[in-house]
Structure 1
Amino acid sequence: MGEATRRRRVTPTLLLALVLLAVTVPAGFCAINAQDASALNALKSQWTNAPSSWSSSSDPCDGGWDGVMCNNGRVNSLRLSSVNIQGTLSDSIGQLTQLVYLDVSFNLGLSGPMPATIGNLAQLTTLILAGCSFTGSIPQELGNLQQLTFLALNSNKFTGTIPPQLGLLSNLFWLDLADNQLTGSIPVSTATTPGLDQLIHTKHFHFNKNQLSGTLAGLFNSKMSLIHVLFDSNQLAGPIPAELGGVSTLQVLRLDRNSLRGAIPPNISNLVNLNELNLASNQLTGSLPDLSSMTQLHVVSISSGQLSGVVPKGLFRLPQLQQVILSNNAFNGTLEITGNISNQLQTINLMNNGIFAANVTPSYKKTLVLVGNPGCQDPDLKSFCSLKQESMIAYNTSLSKCSSTDSCSSDQSLNPANCGCAYPYAGKMVFRAPFFTDLTNSTTFQQLETSLTTQLSLRDGSVFLSDIHFNSDNYLQIQVALFPSTGVSFSVPDLIRIGFDLSNQTYKPPPNFGPYYFIANTYALLAGASSSGSKKSQISTGAIAGIAVAGGLLVIALIGMVLFALRQKRRVKEVTGRTDPFVPWGVSQKDSGGAPQLKGARLFSLNELKNCTNNFSDTHEIGSGGYGKVYKGTLVDGTWVAVKRAERGSMQGVVEFKNEIELLSRVHHRNLNEEGYSKAEFGYESDTEMAHGYNAPQKNGGGSTTSSASGSKVDAEKLYLEEQNCARQAVEYPRESKLVDFEHPCSGKKLDLNTHNVDDTDRAYRHFDLNGFSWS
């Protein structure tokens, strides 16, 4: 078998085997980077309640691991919000060096320290650990994350100081360290250390509800682009820095519930984009600056301080103002609420001050509280000097279209969209600086419902709001329940998606609700999973091993079946080839020009030709030519034959072999056909061609052909060779010369092809068909 043939037979087998492997082996098999795979498995080993999908697939990058997304085999996103993970975050997280998003928010059971190896994640842009139970200090290695834009570590149990290295995060947009147990001062840069004052591109400073101390000196500058500054509920001291008035982009400023002293800097009135100013519960002194230029103000709250003097009358004319709370100070003089009072103004609270008189325009019909002021001695002010118990009921999503008898199990709730029982995704949404105080306005909260439905891709009417109130921190707190659009529960991918949209601030509430954060409850269907998490993990590991072994055996079995089928197919072709030798002609003989067109030729096997020529013995050789040697042979029935055998290095090849047997199958000579010679016969096997000439029966046919075993045999053999040579020249001559009239090479006479006839001559051909021409 030739080398080319071997290659042709092997290649399809290998290709089919590869295709079979591609089909039977799961997509993404071995696609994940080995380091990333190791890191994810290490993370999983530290969790007693990893997502169940993490045990159902061997490759995290094939789309089977909830929360894992990959790019070119590298994990670039790990989003596991709200899936009830319990355990710790392994140091191996630092091996996911192509990670861009890391969100494990709202997993209350995720605790322990935050690994410093997160600082290795140089590609990280989003880091969200909100609503978990992390402890320990915030690692200074976070300063290595130069691509970071969103950092949310709020609502954990972090302790220690704020690392000054956070000041190196020059691309940071969102910085939320609120609701922890952080201590120490706010880091400000020096000649040798970085500080938060360098974060000139950051929009959000959320440091509220910690135990931070020290002053705010040096923290603010006019290069900053801050919009939300929240330092409420800390232990900050010292004055409000005048530099704060240079941050003209500010929209919300909350410095309440600290120990700030001194006067309010007059240039605070430069904050013309400010919506809320809350400086309450400090030890501020002096007078209240003129705020009349701050036309975007909705809320002014500077209660529980030591402010004095007269309340600026222009304050109440601000067009967007809804609430003014100046209670528990030392304001005095006459209160002027006159002129063009804002029709948005709902509440003015000046309780417990030194005001002894008030001029109130009759058009103002909303709430004014002057309890505890000397002016309450004036009968005209009596209506403002008593606390009224208002029985206003806060908004609650209506279930009026549901039957009063509808009820659900303790872990389910009524879906307001269809009144059916379902498992909602629930939690508290906390708005840190809303621009309103009226909790009865249905329009306001229905806008919130609509925005949640639309932006979170939920079914209309599938949002339920309840327990709306202002908490002790003066935050607007709302219990939110989101229901699945179909079925009775959310899938894990849906929980992850919604959780990320809320933790990453992708969801935007109506503008008047201000900045918010969300803390999810543990999803009911996942709440009990942690108790059996370890057992599930063990079963899943065994299942994965079994599946892997079974899958491997299946692949091997299928490959074996394909190879067996290919081998059987090859055997069929070989059998067919022995019956019809030209089945493989076009494949194995590229230069042959196609299979020969024969007229009744007889086929011999190579073994038959070997037997009749005594294995091509030299004693049987009767001549040779450009194609090879010619042998005389005797068939088993006594028939004489002449056999030509191709030789390696022959000047003639496949094309000549094909022409030879085509010619011999068509030509008829009177000394051959009429005197005993019958059809052309041949043998063909692989790359060895055998051309078998005319056979001659053992009988006396006259002429030069004889049946004797003497020299007449040689005459017959020579006659065959001569006639065959003449026939070949007759074929080749007109084709090569392309003449209409040419001289027959053996007769010496001209043949007129236009007449399609020639005269009969000695040793001329009779009934010889040459592309439609004949001689008679």
Structure 2
Amino acid sequence: MGRKLRNNAFNDTLNMGSSIGKQLQLVDLQNNRITSENTKPYSTSMANCGSKSCLSAKKLNPQSCDCAYPFEGTLYFRAPLFRELSNADIFHSLEMSLWEKLGLTPGSVSLQNPFFNVDDYLQVHLELFPSAQKSFNRSGIQRIGFFLSNQTYKPPPQFGPYLFIASPYTFLEHGGNRISSTLIIGIAIGCAFLVLVLVGLGIYAVWQKKRAERAIGLSNPFASWAPSGKDSGGAPQLKGARWFSYDELKKCTNNFSESNEVGSGGYGKVYRGMVPSGQVVAIKKAQQGSTQGGLEFKTEIELLSRVHHKNLVGLVGFCFEQGEQMLVYEFMPNGTLRESLSGKSGIHLDWKRRLRIALGSARGLAYLHELANPPIIHRDVKSTNILLDENLTAKVADFGLSKLVSDSAKGHVSTQVKGTLGYLDPEYYMTQQLTEKSDVYSFGVVMLELVSARQPIEKGKYIVREVRLAMDKNDEDQYGLRGIMDPSIKSLANLTGFGRFVELAMRCVEESASDRPTMSEVVKALENILQNDGMSTSSTSASSTATDFGSTKGVSRHPYEDSFPKKCVNNTNAFDYSGGYTLQSKVEPK
């Protein structure tokens, strides 16, 4: 047990008296103006470090006042049960817990600068000092690192789940003979300088080459497809995707008229059209003269042209001509899941429809993770990227940020952090190592949206934390979530498998990726929920008859339930079809 009294204005003589409790082992009085002290009989366990300071990477050990090399890192507490940071007793309990459970000397733990960061995590800088040496040995660092990084250490309950990011640690080399020969040192310095010059020249050459390739890729994402430099001549004949000329798509949309515009976003605008085969399509057109989304444009063509599943939005074709970048998709008349949950689309989603939408979306992602070759990580799973067809079948869309997992042995892709705040896997954000479990986390957030109809971050509250705090397993009907549930479903008498659905969602958003299920396990769990109630596990989410779907009581009629016109000209029906292509609140690398 210790007390920190550093950085005060104490002066004259320090008299510790003789009535201090036996548990007190440390008094830190650094940076005061004390001229003398009377610490008997506590001289063996009390320390007044005075104005002592350390050089280099060493820091002052608060337990012994000696300079030492601490093991440092940052603790991120995702859901602490308190908000008041001025209560020293709370943090003192954390210090005591750390030195007791990590086998350190009392007083050898230092917590500094606690604050709530932009992700609303409690962030605390941690310093652990060695007990009797100047530095830790390798086995000591490995032991402490294992306890903290693998969640073996459990903090006091009020701090909740945490993540520890360690700083690099420099080990002191002991023993050995030093060679002080001036000649050898001179040769070594000369050789090192020569190697550095050669390495620098090599790095500069590689950097220049990559910079040139990046510039070409940004200005012309098809450069690798068209060595001749022509727009469309080098574009490959991709399986299942047809190349459209600019004039074809211009004619189909009546010169991209406003009457056929069905949505817009950061990438550009989306138009409804009918290709010569009679198929109604959604045409995603990039902003004129803008390179925004150029790489995403090429990625989406390459991925969607070779993945085919009933729960993935199908790519009909593309156009890269006259400076235009366009993608042609199958048309999804019922818009995005987000629009239906918000009531914008006018479609009522009862609980069984929501279960089938979750199952369909999960099947699409499981296909990407396990059946695509090589596997694909979507990287931007969210409710605006889940589209609904005429039967309310869910289809995953927008592969502009997707990544291939080409090295199956490695298990992850080290990449810049991209995604949408609220859905972003915190472990991926911290480590920049993308895995299939990052999609699982995002899907778990979508499942909580299906329960609450709320956006992930709303009025400063994060849905994952709100559900975790409100959950009550003793409430068999609503699991303690009545105050969070979507009003349109919480009044229903029988919510099939509601508790198991919530439990599954919370498993998906576990702090550690290793604790989350795979997408195929999520699919099986959702199928079991539906089968246990005798429902079909078909991911088609509409009611059994078209009449029932079209006559949902208490809900306004969907404006695009009617069939589309034979010819794609001047149709005044319009609908805010985002197509899931708006990239909102993108997280870029720091």
Give the structure-2-normalised TM-score: 0.22
Higher relative contact order (CA 8 A, sep 6+): 2
TM (norm. structure 1) is 0.16
Q: Which has the larger radius of gyration?
A: 1
